[in-house]
Amino acid sequence: MGILDRVWRAIRANINHLVGQAEDPEKILEQAVLDMQEDLIQLRQAVAQAIATQKRTERQCSQAQSMSEEWYRRAQLALQKGDENLAREALTRRKSYQETAEAMQSQLGQQASVVTQLKQNMMKLESKISEAKTKKRSLHRSCPFCQSVSAVK
């Protein structure tokens, strides 16, 4: 068993050595930058969708508030004409629109915090991309081959 263990250890050591030589920090950083840029594109799309949803909810909330006010005016008109049943019906509809508007106001608060969080995440990712690109450039400048090529120019 001793010989098999030693042979296996030697094979593993050689494989690890080959993998270590194949790893190029500059290439790894380049791939990381590409991956982060793809993530950034998806994050920007998510931010745009969240903002669009927020705007749509704002419009719906505004419409619900307008309808609530309209039904209140109709209730007042019905009372002025002496039709209490119609006034009650109008106030019932007004209450429904008020509740919808209040629910949407609550939803708007949640959506605003989601948009803020997404924007912060996007800024962090942009910062990380910039940082990785800087590291890649510094690795490229410290490469002995690249230094000899730039010296020839």
What is the tens place of the pLDDT at every residue in 35-83?
A: 999 999 999 999 999 999 999 999 999 999 999 999 999 999 999 999 9
Q: What is the pTM of this model?
A: 0.68
Residue 110 covered by a domain? yes
DSSP-assigned states of every residue in 101-147:
HHHHHHHHHHHHHHHHHHHHHHHHHHHHHHHHHHHHHHHHHH-HHHH
Q: What is the pLDDT of residue 145?
A: 54
Residue 31 covered by a domain? no
What does the pLDDT average to over 21-30? 74
pLDDT at 151 over 80: no
Output the CA torsion 131→132→133→139 (10° steps): 110
Residue 75 covered by a domain? yes
Taking the C-alpha atoms of residue 139 and residue 76, their distance in angstroms, rounded to an integer, is 76
Residue 111 covered by a domain? yes
Taking the C-alpha atoms of residue 83 and residue 72, their distance in angstroms, rounded to an integer, is 14
What does the pLDDT average to over 126-153? 71
Residue 34 covered by a domain? no
Residue 85 covered by a domain? yes
Q: Coil, helix or strand for 71?
A: helix
Residue 86 covered by a domain? yes
Domain membership of residue 58 as a residue range: 54-128
The torsion region of residue 83 among left (phi > 0), alpha (psi -120 to 50) and beta comes to beta
Looking at the structure of the chain, the number of domains it has is: 1
Q: Euclidean distance between the first and final Cα of the chain, in Å?
A: 59
Residue 106 covered by a domain? yes
